[in-house]
Amino acid sequence: MSETGRLILLGAPLGNPADASARFREVLAAADVVAAEDTRRLTRLARDLDVSVPGRIVSYFEGNEERRTPELVDVLAAGYTVALVTDGGMPSVSDPGYRLVRAALDAGLPVTAAPGPSAVTTALALSGLPCDRFCFEGFLPRTPGGRRSRLSALAAEERTLVFFEAPHRITGALADLAAAFGADRPAALCRELTKTYEEVVRRPLGELAEWAAAGAPRGEITLVVAGASATPAQRPDDDALRAAVAEREAAGLSRRDAITEVAAGYGLRRREVYGLVHEG
């Protein structure tokens, strides 16, 4: 215990324990109190990492964070170190944490972080979509009406968009996205990132909606959607379009993904580029 406690936000592995940083291990082994979204998952992760957690482990999740936040602030004020860890990724990012961070700061207590994996930036990097400017929208509203209203407001957003979605809502969400943004808008559905059954499906929204409807994907889902194209690049001639697809294939993209990316870059319909490639 020190004169001033501090709150440490721990970036937890998304699925693969090997992604845990050395500092993540150090903080777990040294914290006086570890507040975990799921104490059983934390215990399992610590075991996988071969880390002993001598501090007191308490639960901190959506159902009890309002009650537990002042308790943890009192612990911090008493000079103890509190580590906050969620089931994966960074606390506060669509996970418990913001309430405690705000309360600690309002109490004049220090807050720091041991950065780690993020489903947002991992999915963004894997999507093959522009990453220079993006916005994170978290979970869409649960009701169909609320979801459609939100998507209607986002349809003209030019930055790449990143969403979290639950497996039982993804089919409806994709159908509404295709209706609001257009069936040809490029997107990537990333599920079970860093886990054994990691899968990234890169297709236009209309095709993704059909794919999901045929068998709803399971696991934790991060959805990346291209932004609206305000001023598409001028269309090159047919040979240049074929060459652009070939270049992307040579770089490792599948033909489907290469065609999708080229079509998006020039504001073309995917079937137009597909026709050129296959007739050439």
Note the pLDDT tens digit of each residue in 245-274: 888 888 777 888 788 878 876 778 888 898
Whether 233 is in a domain gets the answer no
Question: Where would I find the beta strands (DSSP E) of the chain?
Answer: 6-10, 33-36, 56-59, 81-85, 111-114, 134-139, 160-165, 186-191, 199-204, 221-225
Higher pLDDT, 169 or 279: 169
Q: What is the mean pLDDT of residues 111-135?
A: 94
Question: How much is the pLDDT for 157?
Answer: 93
Structural domain ending residue among the three candidates 225, 249, 269: 225
Q: How many CB atoms lie within 10 A of CB 223?
A: 24
CATH number for 103: 3.40.1010.10
Closest CA to 200 of 260, 242, 267: 260
Lowest mean pLDDT among 49-63, 79-93, 101-115, 229-243: 229-243
Looking at the fold, whether 11 and 110 belong to one and the same domain comes out as yes
Q: What is the mean pLDDT of residues 26-54?
A: 97
Considering the domain boundaries, does residue 231 fall inside one? no
pLDDT tens readout for residues 128-182: 999 999 999 999 999 988 999 999 899 889 999 999 999 999 999 999 999 999 8
| Predicted local confidence at residue 2, as pLDDT | 57
Q: Which of the four pLDDT bands, split at 50, 70 and 90, describes residue 200?
A: very high
- The last residue of a domain, from among 81, 114, 147: 114
pLDDT over threshold 70, residue 119: yes
Tell me the C-alpha distance between 232 and 275, whole Å: 20
215 and 242 part of one domain: no
Domain-located, residue 143? yes
The answer as to whether 249 is a domain residue is yes
Is 202 found in the same domain as 258?
no
Q: Does 87 have pLDDT greater than 90? A: yes
Measured distance CA(68)–CA(47) in Å, rounded: 26
> What's the CATH number where 205 sits?
3.30.950.10
198 part of a folded domain: yes
Q: Give pLDDT, residue 250.
A: 83
Residues 74 and 171 occupy one common structural domain: no
In a domain, 1, yes or no: no
- When pLDDT is averaged across residues 100-120 and rounded to a whole number, the result is 96
Identify the sign of the CA torsion 111, 115, 116, 121.
Answer: positive
**Three-state DSSP class for residue 279:** helix
232 in a domain, yes or no?
A: no
User: Nearest Cα to 136, choosing from 152, 123, 117, 149?
Assistant: 123
What does the pLDDT average to over 34-39?
Answer: 97
pTM, whole model, 2 decimals?
A: 0.78
CA distance 83 to 237: 57
Range of the domain at 260: 238-279
91 and 13 belong to one structural domain? yes
Cβ partners under 8 Å of residue 32, min gap 6: 1, 5, 55, 56, 75, 80, 81, 82
pLDDT score of 127 more than 60: yes
CA–CA separation, 72 vs 81, rounded Å?
10
Same domain, 248 and 216: no
Which residues pair with residue 83 across a beta bridge? Answer: 8, 34
pLDDT at 238 over 70: yes
d(CA 61, CA 97): 9
Predicted local confidence at residue 269, as pLDDT: 83
3-state secondary structure of 251: coil
DSSP 8-class letter at 34: E
Please give the biggest Cα pair distance in the chain: 74
Residue appearing with tokens 């007739």? 279
Check whether residue 173 and residue 219 sit in a common domain.
Answer: yes
**In the predicted model, is pLDDT for residue 3 greater than 80?**
no
What is residue 27's predicted lDDT score, i.e. its pLDDT? 97
Specify the number of domains making up the chain.
Answer: 3
Our CA dihedral for 206, 209, 210, 213, rounded to 10 degrees, sits at -170
Q: Same domain for 129 and 61?
A: no
